[in-house]
Chain A
């Protein structure tokens, strides 16, 4: 008995030592990616492999904590919003420097924000549409707004407003801003983020090395990052990426297929992480009165769309497709990790009886519906097989049409579809982007469904200038109620970001927006 007790105590104290393990500095972390970064620049980054790397090289004025929601100071030590919401004064932190040792000044901030606002530069200027002008102050900048904007603080913590060096842009070769930005995605460019670009071979490798002048402090009281270098290798094939990790050639591999998660979790040499994300998988339902060919649309009524939602067993799909790693959507407009997400419990819980009743009353029974899926996607193939069976039970005959991604995009824009698979990840720490995408008709016809609800649209417009957080939260709650009831989507599930790391890698984070954060990562020797 005594020995048992001693053994147990020893176990407990070892656990305690483990959890308080001190960070270790130095070393190179090698990381296998599914795709290469083509241009890491705050305003021109337009694909996820580019966007998700920006904040490693360029710091933002404000930052988001790991939860993806809480905003904390970044290069700015603080900000103040005037009572009418039309002036935002930003104070820069003292002593901040670019990686070449030159100071980060108000002029750099003004230059960076003016790039971000410029509609001719990149796809993100719309996020700053409310900004009228930017002026330098003694120790920061002031934003003058056309109208109050509740999203602006979140946008100042978003990659597209990250701070670049004005001097570097002025000295860079190139006839225009984009050419200069392309030229600056090269070794030696002074940057404001935790890492600098050390070298890069297009399509295959990229190396970041620690920025010696970075301002943020680590747990040990010394500046971040802990790592000397991060070395990326591009391995597009999922199975090869995992083999590379298992062979010990890399310390991390991203986008692990969900079917491999359980196996890797069981491997003691691997730390299988499932980071909460803002990714949702859903299927827009054509809600127009008629189909593109002019025939009557059986999904035009909300009852018909509700029937499809009730007939779909999301819990089963979560098991079949995400192997239990995902979860049913609980807000109709966004992932539960998004701010202002209203948790109304799982949406349209599986209810075949109710589905049958609604299908009958709405005239959906006997209809033929085409599900447009991605060719070559095993997830979509599984989804189709399951849905064909589930919807068959309420008298709906499901056909499949397989297309590639560009064709699916074109169909979504032209409205030539019944139901098609789709996914979304937020780029911004605010629900306005996803709500605008999914529900606000003028943005993109409510994700191509053609659903157009006056109350929703005016609530959305009002929420975009509402600076009282409580009122805005109420507006979002109501928008989610309307959207849930109208069901222009087949609400499916949320999935995490699955990243497999060697057991000795600590502190790596993929944020809910997808950003790969290496600044606090370290390797235990």
Chain B
């Protein structure tokens, strides 16, 4: 199979996923307890005002009709108007995508930078003091709640040492890098713990593989063996894991973006849920679904590049 047709077939697979997500999110939002009209209108609203909101949202229509409108509008790019923000959902989401995308990519880069070298050091010192120290350190990272790590970083690195601003996003690229360092690091500490463990065992496994022993016996230098043979083969499973954890990482932005006052999709999602802003919740969930699907697709492409067997099967 050529790379192009592989890409096309993987793209086609996203469509049913997307439809399924639409059904699930439509039903889930409506299963939430609490009348959205009441949530949106504030306690002081009269019955007549509530009725007006229900009409506006089409909540009085039968469920199947509501679903059809939802599908039709979504396919035509109309995700409705956010009740909370009083603005088109699509416009609001498009404003926020770059923020969350920046934060996620930043966090992934940091995770790789932290986990990669340490995993190699740990694997090459298998069961040595260094290995144990690295693994225990990450274990602490894994078992500490994300918001707590966030607050610790904020208190020490931002408020006390003033190395970074306390929250916010900034306006230029360099400001983004500076402002998002702590939230990205918070998320990265967690993700890198998972990646480190996986990469370490993969490296240990590959180091014992016959082809590596063969390479050694050929007299290849250590750096060539590690770079060309060990890294590439050990990365295959790690890339899968990284792809999967980006999904987690995006959901992690719900907490991180709130603690660090980053105006991204995660924080918006939290606000939308609390306000029962149906159109916004639906729009955001679909956006997250698309983003995660694209990340999985990208992961598959990288894997196929690393492991040619996948392209042929």
Contact = CB atoms under 8 A, between A and B. Distances in A.
Interface of A: 38-39, 44, 46-47, 123, 126, 178, 182, 201-204, 233-237, 239-240, 243-244, 246-247, 249, 403-410, 412-413, 422, 437, 444
Contacts of A47: 42
Contacts of A244: 166-167, 261
Nearest to B264: A203
Contacts of B38: 406, 409-410, 413
Q: 8 shortest A-B CB distances, which residue pairs?
A: A406-B34, A406-B39, A204-B263, A235-B261, A407-B34, A244-B166, A203-B263, A409-B38
B90 interface: no
Contacts of A444: 44, 46
A182 B87 CA distance: 8
B158 A247 contact: yes
Contacts of B225: none
Contacts of B222: none
A123 B49 contact: yes
Contacts of A249: 165-166
A406 B268 contact: no
Given A38-B86, A249-B165, A404-B34, A201 B39 contact: no
A406 B35 contact: yes
Nearest to B43: A409
Contacts, number: 113
A437 B33 CA distance: 24
Most buried by B among A46, A182, A240, A405: A240
Contacts of A437: 44
B33 A240 contact: no
A389 to B, nearest CB: 29
B165 A412 contact: no
B241 interface: no
Contacts of A407: 33-34
A204 B168 contact: yes
Nearest to B48: A119
Contacts of B165: 247, 249
A249 B165 CA distance: 8
Interface in B76-126: 84-87, 92, 95-96
25 contacts: A44-B86, A46-B42, A123-B45, A201-B263, A235-B261, A236-B271, A240-B154, A240-B260, A243-B155, A243-B159, A244-B261, A246-B159, A247-B158, A247-B162, A249-B165, A403-B33, A405-B274, A406-B32, A406-B35, A406-B276, A407-B34, A410-B35, A412-B43, A422-B43, A444-B44
Contact of A405 (B39, B84, B154, B166): B39
A86 to B, nearest CB: 26
Contacts of B271: 236
A170 B162 CA distance: 49
Most buried by A among B36, B167, B169, B263: B167
A243 B165 CA distance: 10
A44 B86 CA distance: 10
Nearest to A239: B151
Contact of A240 (B42, B43, B259): B259
Given A203-B263, A247-B159, A182 B43 contact: no
A123 B36 contact: no
Nearest to B52: A120
Contacts of B239: none
A343 B271 CA distance: 39
A495 B151 CA distance: 27
A409 B39 contact: yes
Given A234-B263, A237-B258, 19 more contacts: A38-B84, A203-B95, A203-B96, A203-B268, A204-B169, A237-B167, A237-B261, A239-B154, A243-B155, A243-B158, A243-B159, A246-B159, A247-B162, A247-B165, A403-B33, A406-B32, A407-B33, A409-B43, A444-B46
Interface string B1-30: 000000000000000000000000000000
Contacts of A202: 85, 87, 92, 95, 263
Nearest to A235: B261
A182 B86 contact: yes
A406 B39 CA distance: 5
B26 to A, nearest CB: 18
A490 to B, nearest CB: 17
Given A123-B44, A182-B86, A240-B259, A233 B168 contact: yes
Contacts of B36: 406
B41 interface: yes
B270 to A, nearest CB: 8
B34 A409 contact: yes
Nearest to A403: B33
Nearest to A436: B44
A128 B165 CA distance: 47
Nearest to A246: B159
B200 interface: no
A130 B169 CA distance: 48
B170 to A, nearest CB: 10
Interface in B116-168: 151, 154-155, 158-159, 162, 165-168
A409 B258 CA distance: 25
Contacts of B43: 409, 412, 422
A247 B165 CA distance: 8
Most buried by B among A46, A182, A412: A46
Nearest to A448: B43
Given A203-B268, A237-B261, A123 B42 contact: yes
B83 to A, nearest CB: 10
A503 to B, nearest CB: 17
A234 B87 contact: no
Nearest to A376: B274
A39 to B, nearest CB: 5
Nearest to A182: B86
A266 B310 CA distance: 64
B310 to A, nearest CB: 41
Contacts of B260: 237, 240
Contact of B258 (A236, A243, A403): A236
Nearest to B259: A237
A204 B267 CA distance: 11
A235 B158 CA distance: 15
Nearest to B168: A233
Contacts of B259: 237, 239-240
Contacts of B44: 123, 437, 444
B85 A38 contact: yes
Contacts of B154: 239-240, 243
Contacts of A412: 43
A405 B42 CA distance: 10
Most buried by B among A126, A406, A437: A406
Interface in B264-288: 267-268, 271, 274, 276
